[in-house]
């Protein structure tokens, strides 16, 4: 798993291969954290549906403008990181370090979109999103706005 993560950084984000000193290193942590948290929402109900699988790359593409190959790699690594993680803290710490308030709200909106994409909100999906919102210090009113934004976005499409 660490080899895949290293390969991802080397191939896509660091022209020198030196991930630790590269200015892209912070951005790559943000990418991985966002992708892993989205995967956590998709897995929360113990079933990743086809609609979620189809929508996940679209959400990441809109945020990061990656190639199809980069998206596939990022999602694969995020799934592995999500499976190996003992909590959401490692991902939310990266979000807190790398994202501004607007980016945090965009993340929550994307999480809500993924949760609603199959037409129903599972209580475990909602729990994960609520937990992430608390860990990234988003006020409850903004948490509700992100939820409403996601519902409106999906109803318009």
- 45 and 125 in contact (C-beta within 8 Å)? yes
Cα 80 to its chain centre, rounded Å, is 13
- Which tens digits make up the pLDDT trace of 59-70? 999 999 898 989
What's the pLDDT score for residue 119?
85
Residue 57 has pLDDT above 50, yes or no: yes
Spatial CA neighbour of 79 closest among 91, 96, 94: 91
What's the pLDDT score for residue 27?
43
What's the pLDDT score for residue 85?
87
Residue 84 has pLDDT above 60, yes or no: yes
- 154 and 119 in contact (C-beta within 8 Å)? no
- Which tens digits make up the pLDDT trace of 10-49? 554 444 444 444 333 334 789 999 999 999 999 998 888 8
Contacts of residue 146, Cβ cutoff 8 Å, sequence gap at least 6: 105, 108, 109, 112, 133, 138
Q: How far apart are CA 60 and CA 131, in angstroms?
A: 21
Burial class (CB in 10 A: 0-12, 13-18, 19+), 46: exposed
Domain 2-156 architecture:
Orthogonal Bundle (1.10)
What's the pLDDT score for residue 151?
84
């Amino acid at each position: 798993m660490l080899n895949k993560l290293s390969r991802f950084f080397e191939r896509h984000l660091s022209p020198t291969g030196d991930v630790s000193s590269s200015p892209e290193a912070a951005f790559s942590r943000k990418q991985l954290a966002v992708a892993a948290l989205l995967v956590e929402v998709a897995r929360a109900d113990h079933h990743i549906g086809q609609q979620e699988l189809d929508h996940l790359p679209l959400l990441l593409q809109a945020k990061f403008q990656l190639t199809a190959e980069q998206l596939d790699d990022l999602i694969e690594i995020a799934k592995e990181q999500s499976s190996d993680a003992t909590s959401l803290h490692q991902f939310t710490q990266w979000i807190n370090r790398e994202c501004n308030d607007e980016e945090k709200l965009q993340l929550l909106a994307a999480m809500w979109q993924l949760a609603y994409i199959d037409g129903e909100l599972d209580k475990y999906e909602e729990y994960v999103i609520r937990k992430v919102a608390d860990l990234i210090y988003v006020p409850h009113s903004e948490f509700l706005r992100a939820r409403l934004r996601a519902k409106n976005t999906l109803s318009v499409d």
